[in-house]
Structure 1
Amino acid sequence: MERLLKMAVLADGSKIHKIGQWIASLKSSVSQLLFARGVLLYILSFFLGRAIVLTSISPFALAFLATAIIAKRQFAFPTFLFAVAGAITVSFSHASYILLSGLILMMLYKKWVHKVEKRIKWMAVSTFVSVVVGRLIVQAVTGTVVIYDVATFVLEAALAGFLVMVFIQSYPFLKLKAPRLKLKVEEMVCIVILSTAVLTGFVGLSIYELSLEQIGAMYLVVMAAFIAGATVGSAVGVMIGLMLSLVSAFHLYQVSLLALAGLLGGLMKDVNRYAVTIGLFVSAFLIGMYNIEVIPLEQLLLQAVVAAALFMLTPKSLISKVAKYVPGTEEEKEENEQYLQKVRDATASRVERFSEMFEALSHSFAYIDTDGKPSDPNSDVDEYLSRVTEKTCQTCLKKHSCWVNNFDRTYPVLQQTIMSIEENDTSNVNFNVGKLKNFCVKSDQVVDQMRYELSYYKANKRLKQQVKESRKFVSEQLNGVSEVMNNFAKEMVKEREEYFWHEQEIRRMLEAHHFSLEHLELFSIEKGNVDVEMTVYFNDYRGEGEKLIAPLLSDLLDETVVVEDEQSVNERNGDRTFTFSSVKNYQLSSGVAHAAKKGNFLSGDSYLMLELGKSRFALAISDGMGNGERAYLESSETLKLLKQILQSGINEQVALQSINSILSLRTSDEIYATLDLAFIDLQEPHANFLKIGAMVSYIKRGSSVYPVESGNLPIGILEEFDVEPVREELKDGDLLIMVSDGILESMNFSENREAWLKRKIREIETEDPQAVADLVLEETIRSNHGHIIDDMTVLVTKVEKSRPKWASFSSVASV
């Protein structure tokens, strides 16, 4: 029994699957028939051939034919035939006009328009000419031509030329594939005009005394209201009503009926479809009551019932598909978000691939020197010796005796001689030459050749070292770039679940406090790095952004959030866009004082104050070797490199190694620069000091002064160096004083200079950073009797706890 039941279930499932396949196949066939084979164009052309306004003006069919010729020429002639067929259902003279004007238009295109560049413009002109000529010929054959007729024909031709420009905006959306993700506003208007023109072709057609054009008009308005809301629904209603009223004064009531239906239906669109149709029935009832002498109320309500039924039978998938192309709809926003998510994922994947590539390149440069083999320190010496012996021992008769029979004696003596010559040790050179003379008959020639080859040996050694250092530098840089790109990719693909929950909570919270939220975007909700953007509508803005919304966000995200930026068109009313970010637990205020040697314009000292992200800050002083323009260029170049590398996101120690490598490899001149660098964390207040040949710094806390020092050679002296950071905790009210070497080295007295500066800092009563910097510089100059004998720079930074203007409060009442 169970087996039979399973077989029955499988059979039912197979039938359902086949039915689904059949429905999908039917949809595909209908789609291909309507769009790929042009049947939809033919249907539209037929009804546009019937469309007449103001009793005799019919510009629609020729304009649509011109559009078909430009956009889809293979469908142009059948489109023309269907337009003529539609015109025949109206009158023979009307069909003659469409036939004759269409032939003239196609002839003009073949003989002239297709050869010019701006085809659309000249196609509109050709349409104008075709309409005027066709109308004049038909009128001349069927009757007399008067001035009024000529004016009417020119007006009709002008409308036809204008409609070419309108229909060409609508034509891409009659194809199987739309060219872009959403419509522009002007394209929406053009599509509504085309739809209205097609509706005028239904005038005179009815089923059981129910007018098809009125049913179609109601259907389009209800659809527009449900998709885009009251504004678009009422606008579409006005446009369709005006067009129908041009056909006959009988349709004047359609303007008010359709506009009201679009307004009421759009207001009810957030409820459901049934509520939108209720808006249509209310409009039909109200307008029918006041126009009962024009159209029976029962007939109007029946037409509304048919339009509502068609609307209810419209598949939800079709409505959603149309809504995706209309700006401002929820479906369009969702489609854009999905598209952006796909772009974000694809970009993150590509960035990860690049990160892996840079990491592989970094490893290849890191191991290219060793190649898996240990390096031989004597390889350079052996190469040097080979060049010396090639020009001395190769032609000697005792070569076999020295290098084969007595190798252990010959090689050490020559090696020691080379080392003595390289070290310029005369006594050892003479001693080793004496040992060499005991068995070498060309000792003087060998020593002379060693001295000659020494310069080549040193140059080769230096070149190899520079190549090695360059490879190491490139490896470190590639590895740093790989890390930055990898971190960037991880940020891009960060899971959205937590973001979605927070977004819903923010929407709920603002709705509970009666804020009209227009747009919300969460860029980051990471602790200490919150970045939220929202647009809120206000009728009378009184600072609610910082007074209410920021504290509410602070309560939700469990950290203090403040308004970082605020933009609005109107001061009190309308939309306002806020950018909220994490408040820095601590904030900095800085002051700097500097003076050039002997009062010159250019100082060899340079300083930098750089914000890194939302919670880190970098302070730096660089002192170029010497004074004047050359020292200024060296120190400023060092800080410029530091700024660019740090802003790229590379680790600070890797940045310093990179700068050192660049400066040491860039030139052989002895141009060096000191660097006093401090990184301050504003969330958990502490400073990491990196001092490369720099002077001692000081932290003033109340009446106490603490020195901070570290010993490293200036940047550019050594090709390899290690920087040991010094970490110091900071507190509210601390003053961080950084000075260049000119402050300490220009003092002219016997007292310990560092102790003197420490005492002067302790004696300063003010806590203003700029005042402290000015006082330190002034005391230093006074101690040297007013002379400035070196470049001096003082950089003072005060650390203060942030105190937001508006504090957060809990939205949940405590029990």
Structure 2
Amino acid sequence: ARLDHAADALGEVASTVAQVGEKLDKAQRQHQSSALQELRRTQTAQDRQRMVQQFTAVSTVMEEMAAEFELFERSDGTSANLVSDVLYEFALEPLDVSCRVDRFERMTVEILAMRGEGVKVNKAELTNEISKACGRTFSQPSISRTQTSWRLVFCEKPRFRAVMGSARHNCYNNLLCGDSTRCFEDGTGRYIAILSDGMGTGGRAAVDGVMVSDLLAQLIQAGVGFDSALQIVNNAMGVKSGDESTATVDIACIDLYTGITEFMKAGAAMSFVREDGKVHPVDAPGIPVGILEQASFHCTQEELGSDDLVVLVSDGALCEGTAWITALLEGASDSKTPQELAEAIVAGAVARRSDEHDDDVTAIVMKLHAYSQQAD
């Protein structure tokens, strides 16, 4: 309830800022006539609009967190106390520990802690001890770090795990690449792959691609929802430089408990799914970040099972069409690892290029494995 109230309050602040800005603009227009005054007025209005967007983004984040809390049916205070004891044994000072159980009786442990200077923590050992304390089996945590604290999230071991491989070709073998990737488990039973393609090639594109992928990963790992994270990044693209900065965003989010995979795209290239040996494309056209004031994903879902593949590529891989990628994936034996498949896609795209131009090419391949299976 407190988060809902705070979110509503921030939403009202954003609305108020917009209304005040409109009134100030009206008053200024009555008294300003010179070109310099008009330029200053325009800049002030732009700065005010960015402030409104940031307040709105924060409001949405808090609404998402409030909704997330509602998914959990109860808190386990006894387990939280036991987890705190374990943290002290690892020289971690707990600032806040919550053990939440959802409607499916799955527990999530969320920890905010301080780490002593020079202290090293073995994640496997910490996971084992917290599992013992709670009487459950957890996967290793997702960790988000700031200058003052660590946020660790443990979730119960899911049905699947994702094995990932990635490969990249830099345009004309440049040192810098406009494509940037981040892949990680978020600590709540989801495997997330992010591919961002900074528009163009070389240094400017590399800065945009890395900025987008890194910021998105940091926000998502900190618990911010996908839509809010995208809007925050979109706002950041607008203020980082006076020049236009744009980048595509391609996200695949795999629920490791169910196999349901959500594809979220903002101007990104087509993806591919191999399900029961058959390949089909996944496309969701949209607009890259950094162009419009409001950014949004175009989304679609697939339900996958063991041995199925998810493939993300940048647009440089599609210059000669998609039929050859479909044939490559359908013809690949089960013994082919995701890394081998990613390298084959990138090499194939480079070799097939027929227009005497080059481009950055990136491929991410993820394969689902049931935990009873031996992963590649």
Same fold by TM-score greater than 0.5: yes
Distance 1:725 1:456, change over 3 A: farther
Residue correspondence of structure 1 range 30-45 to structure 2 within 5 A: none
Q: Give, in angstroms, the shift of residue 788 of structure 1.
A: 7.5
Which position in structure 2 is the counterpart of 1:803? 372
How big is each residue's C-alpha offset from its partner over 1:170-225, in whole Å with a ceiling of 9 and x where there is no partner? Answer: xxxxxxxxxxxxxxxxxxxxxxxxxxxxxxxxxxxxxxxxxxxxxxxxxxxxxxxx
Give 3-state SS (helix, strand or coil) of 2:51's partner: helix
Aligned length: 322
Structure 2 match to 1:137: none
Task: Quote how far apart the aligned CAs of 1:789 are.
Answer: 1.0
Q: For residues 373 and 100 of structure 2, what CA distance do their matches in structure 1 show?
A: 21
In structure 1, what is the equivalent of residue 145 of structure 2? none
Matched residues in 1 for 2:165 and 2:302: separation?
Answer: 21
Q: Distance in 1 between matches of 2:98 and 2:180?
A: 39
Is 1:635 the counterpart of 2:213 in the alignment?
A: no
1:790 is displaced (CA, Å) by 1.0
Q: Is the 8 A contact 1:596 1:790 kept in 2?
A: yes
Match of 1:771 among 340, 359, 363: 340
Q: In structure 2, what is the Cα distance between the partners aligned to 1:604 and 1:614?
A: 30
The equivalent residue for 2:149 is none
CA deviation profile, 1:433-455 (whole Å, cap 9, x unmatched):
xxxxxxxxxxxxxxxxxxx74x8
CA contact (8 A) 2:176 2:203 kept: yes
For 1:550-629, what aligned pairs fall within 5 Å after superposition? 562=137, 582-629=156-203
- Secondary structure in 1 matching 2:216: helix
Query: Distance in 1 between the 2:351 and 2:255 partners?
Result: 35
> 5+ residue gaps in structure 1?
1-351, 389-451, 504-520, 533-545, 554-560, 566-579, 748-752, 806-815
Inter-CA distance 804–595: structure 2 relative to 1 (3 Å threshold): closer
- Equivalence map 1:346-495=2 (5 Å): 356-357=5-6, 359-370=8-19, 453=35, 457=38, 460-461=41-42, 463-481=44-62, 484=65, 494=75
Amino acid at match of 1:705: V
Q: Go from structure 1 to structure 2 and tell me whether the alpha carbon gap of 1:522 and 1:586 turns closer, same or farther (over 3 Å shift).
A: same
What's the counterpart of residue 107 of structure 2? Answer: 529
State whether residues 705 and 758 of structure 1, in contact with CA within 8 Å, keep that contact through their aligned partners in structure 2.
yes
SS in 2 for 1:620: strand
Distance 2:277 2:363 in 1: 20
Within a 5 Å distance, the mapping from 1:11-160 to structure 2 comes to none
- SS class of match (2:351): helix
RMSD: 4.0
Q: 1:664 aligns with which of 238, 244, 259?
A: 238
Q: Distance in 2 between matches of 1:353 and 1:381?
A: 36
For 1:701, the equivalent position in structure 2 comes to 275
CA distance, structure 2, for counterparts of residue 783 and residue 695 of structure 1 = 18
Alignment CA distance shift 1:632-1:381 (3 Å): same
Query: Any residues of structure 2 matched to 1:302-381 within 5 Å, and which?
Result: 356-357=5-6, 359-370=8-19
Residues in 2 aligned to 1:680 and 1:731: alpha-carbon distance in whole angstroms: 11
Q: CA deviation at 1:759?
A: 3.3
Residue 588 (structure 1) shift: 0.3
Q: Which amino acid aligns with 2:57?
A: E
The residue matched to 2:229 in structure 1 has which SS? helix
User: What is the CA–CA distance in structure 2 between the aligned matches of 1:800 and 1:727, rounded to whole Å?
Assistant: 19
SS in structure 1 of the partner of residue 333 of structure 2:
coil
Offset of residue 358 of structure 1: 6.0
How far did residue 366 of structure 1 move? 3.0
Superposition deviation, residue 641 in structure 1: 1.0
Change (3 A) 1:462 1:709: farther
Kindly state the Cα deviation for residue 786 of structure 1 after the two structures are TM-superposed. Answer: 12
* Distance (whole Å) between structure 1 residues aligned to residue 354 and residue 296 of structure 2: 40
Change (3 A) 1:714 1:590: same
638, 641, 645: which is aligned to 2:219? 645
Q: Alignment partner of 1:721: what SS?
A: coil
Deviations 1:476-500 (A, max 9, x none): 2144146548967997983659x79
Which letter does structure 2 place at the counterpart of 1:610? Answer: F
1:790 alignment counterpart: 359
Asked if the contact 2:230–2:295 (Cα under 8 Å) also holds between the matched residues in 1, the reply is no
* SS of aligned partner of 1:368: helix
1:563 positional shift: 6.6
- The residue type equivalent to 2:212 in the other structure is T
For residues 296-307 of structure 1, the aligned pairs below 5 Å read none
| CA deviation vs aligned residue, 1:699-741 (integer Å, no higher than 9, x gap) | 0123321111112121101112332321222222211110011
* Larger RCO, structures 1/2 (Cα 8 Å, 6+ apart): 2
What residue is the counterpart of 2:150 in the other structure? none
Q: Which of 728, 731, 751 is matched with 2:302 structurally? A: 728
| Contact kept in structure 1, 2:155 and 2:187, CA below 8 Å | no
Conserved in 1, the CA contact under 8 Å of 2:32 and 2:38?
no
Residues 276-295 of structure 1 mapped to structure 2, 5 A cutoff: none
Contact 1:528 1:584 in 2 (8 A): no
Q: List per-residue Cα deviations over 1:639-680 (Å, max 9, x = no partner).
A: 121122112211111110111111113322022111111111
Shift of 1:590: 0.4
- Alpha-carbon distance, 1:633 to partner: 1.7
Does the C-alpha gap of structure 1 residues 476 and 678 become closer, same or farther in structure 2, counting only changes over 3 Å? same
Q: From the superposition, tell whether residues 385 and 489 of structure 1 become closer, same or farther in structure 2 (CA, over 3 Å).
A: closer
Aligned AA (1:588): A
Write 1 or 2 for the structure with the bigger share of strand: 2
In structure 2, what is the Cα distance between the partners aligned to 1:695 and 1:483?
28
Cα shift at 1:472:
2.3
Q: Whose helix fraction is larger, Structure 1's or Structure 2's?
A: 1
**Aligned residue in 2 for 1:690:** 264
1:762 corresponds in structure 2 to 330
C-alpha separation in 2, matches of 1:787 and 1:761? 26
For 2:278 and 2:67, the matched residues in 1 are separated by 44
What secondary structure, in the 3-state scheme, does the structure 2 residue paired with 1:617 have? strand
Tell me the distance in 2 between the aligned counterparts of 1:661 and 1:602: 24
Question: 1:696, CA displacement in angstroms?
Answer: 0.3
CA 777–486 in structure 1, closer or farther in 2 if over 3 Å, else same: closer
Q: AA paired with 1:702?
A: D
Question: How many angstroms does 1:609 deviate by?
Answer: 0.3
Counterparts in 2 of 1:670 and 1:492: CA distance versus 1, 3 Å: same
Distance 2:347 2:287 in 1: 29
CA–CA distance in 1 between the matches of 2:258 and 2:65? 23
| 2:292 is aligned with 1:711 | no
Tell me how far 1:608 sits from its aligned partner. Answer: 0.6
Residues 75, 99 of structure 2: 8 Å contact kept = no
What whole-Å deviation, never above 9, does each CA across 1:64-112 have from its counterpart, x for those lacking one?
xxxxxxxxxxxxxxxxxxxxxxxxxxxxxxxxxxxxxxxxxxxxxxxxx
Instruction: Measure, in 1, the Cα distance between the counterparts of 2:68 and 2:301.
Output: 25
CA deviation map 1:500-536 (0-9, x unaligned): 9xx9xxxxxxxxxxxxxxxxx994554333669xxxx
Distance in 2 of aligned mates of 1:486 and 1:698: 32
Q: Counterpart of 1:594 in structure 2: which amino acid? A: R
Instruction: Check 1:630–1:799 CA distance in 2 against 1; reply closer, same or farther (3 A cut).
Output: same
C-alpha distance in structure 2 between counterparts of 1:769 and 1:787, whole Å? 29
SS in 2 for 1:633: helix
